[in-house]
Amino acid sequence: MTKQKYCSTKKTQPAKPAALTTSPPTKVDVASMLDSLAPQIAQLVEGALDAISASLQATSTVVIDKKVVDSGPDHYARLTGAKRLLEFTLAGRPRPEKKAEARRGFTMQEIEAAMAANQEEARQRGEQTH
């Protein structure tokens, strides 16, 4: 019978990017470039919201005996629309920190090491009393 060793690999957190610092002239340049694109950006946002709104009201249809039959709400399209709405509204927000993982169970190696340490302590206590 062979013993399997538990190999712990800790996941390291990626380094957080440095805070973006831009000079005031750069901010003015970026703002002036975006000002000229404001109508196009507004159209894109409006189109995205219209598509999300339509997906939240989607129904599915099937063809039975050469007749189109409404089969009710399209749950897949509605769920996808809800997902896109969340992505749209949460864009640019920092992700919340993940909580630390809960303690896992003991491995056989850890149990055997604890038993050996306990036996060693008991042996040393026995030698000290005699």
Residue 112 CA, chain-centre distance (Å), reads 37
Low-confidence stretches of the chain (pLDDT beneath 50) = 1
Q: What is the pLDDT of residue 84?
A: 94
Claim: this prediction has a pTM higher than 0.95? no
Q: What is the pLDDT of residue 117?
A: 93
41 is in which domain, residue-wise? 32-91
- Inside any domain, residue 109: no
- Inside any domain, residue 67: yes
Q: What is the pLDDT of residue 16?
A: 67
Total domains in the fold of the chain: 1
- Inside any domain, residue 57: yes
Q: What is the pLDDT of residue 113?
A: 94
Give dist(CA 53, CA 85) in Å, integer.
Answer: 9
Give dist(CA 80, CA 62) in Å, integer.
Answer: 20
- Inside any domain, residue 108: no
Q: What is the pLDDT of residue 17?
A: 62
- Inside any domain, residue 15: no
Q: What is the pLDDT of residue 19?
A: 64
Longest dimension (CA), the chain: 97
- Inside any domain, residue 129: no
Give dist(CA 58, CA 61) in Å, integer.
Answer: 10
- Inside any domain, residue 112: no
